[in-house]
Amino acid sequence: MKRIVVGKIAKPQGIKGEVKLQCYVDAPEGFLRIREVYVGENLMHVSRARTVGADVFLSLEGVSDRNAAELLRDLEVSVPRDKADALKTGEWFVSDLVGLRVVCEGEEMGTVVDVLQYGAADIFDVRGAKNYLVPFLKALVLSIDLEAGVMQVDKAKWREVCCEN
């Protein structure tokens, strides 16, 4: 079963075992609909979730005090891929993009092997006959078809923004 890493336990919150999550998704309110998460390799039931702005707080079954919550600090939190759609809003997970074939007006440019995240724009690492580093721009990416495994890009924009590696 494929899982998506959606955050990391940042710290205990209070004395009753609640934890604060360093959230990796853009729609933290989606955690209100998630009932089970993996903390590290352990499947845990979410007894309560709440959000305050971008912050996510989880109460996990079996974690009843600050000491137990402290043991979870820095562990990654993941969800099964089929449950992860509750955590996104019209966007893609990096793991969805890796492996896509990049096609530019019928010409295959290569395959996305990684997505580098630097803040201003994500960068696609595309490998093929040549290797490219390309920013993820709305003007560049015409469409993404996850079922077909294809990302269509605009040829003029491709020539303008890509860097051969």
pLDDT band at 89 (very low <50, low <70, confident <90, very high): low
Mean predicted confidence (pLDDT) in 85-110: 81
| Assigned token pair, 136 | 């993820």
117 vs 86: CA distance, rounded Å: 22
The answer, yes or no, to whether residue 139 has pLDDT greater than 60, is yes
Provide the whole-model pTM.
Answer: 0.63
pLDDT band at 82 (very low <50, low <70, confident <90, very high): confident
What share of the chain in percent tops pLDDT 70? 95
What share of the chain in percent tops pLDDT 90? 54
127 vs 43: CA distance, rounded Å: 36
CA-based angle 125:128:131, to the nearest 5? 45
Domain shared by 136 and 74, yes or no: no
pLDDT band at 51 (very low <50, low <70, confident <90, very high): very high
Domain shared by 50 and 79, yes or no: yes
DSSP lists the bridge partners of residue 79 as: 4
CATH number at residue 128: 2.30.30.240
Which of 53, 72, 87 is the last residue before a domain boundary? Answer: 87
Domain shared by 68 and 31, yes or no: yes
Mean predicted confidence (pLDDT) in 66-88: 86
Domain shared by 107 and 141, yes or no: yes
Question: pLDDT at position 45, please?
Answer: 96
Question: pLDDT at position 86, please?
Answer: 63
Domain shared by 80 and 7, yes or no: yes
Contact yes or no for 31/58 (Cβ under 8 A): yes
- Note down the domain range covering 70: 3-87
Number of domains, the chain = 2
Domain shared by 126 and 105, yes or no: yes
Domain shared by 69 and 133, yes or no: no
Strands 150-153 and 101-104: parallel
DSSP lists the bridge partners of residue 60 as: 46
CATH number at residue 11: 2.40.30.60
Domain shared by 114 and 70, yes or no: no
pLDDT band at 150 (very low <50, low <70, confident <90, very high): very high
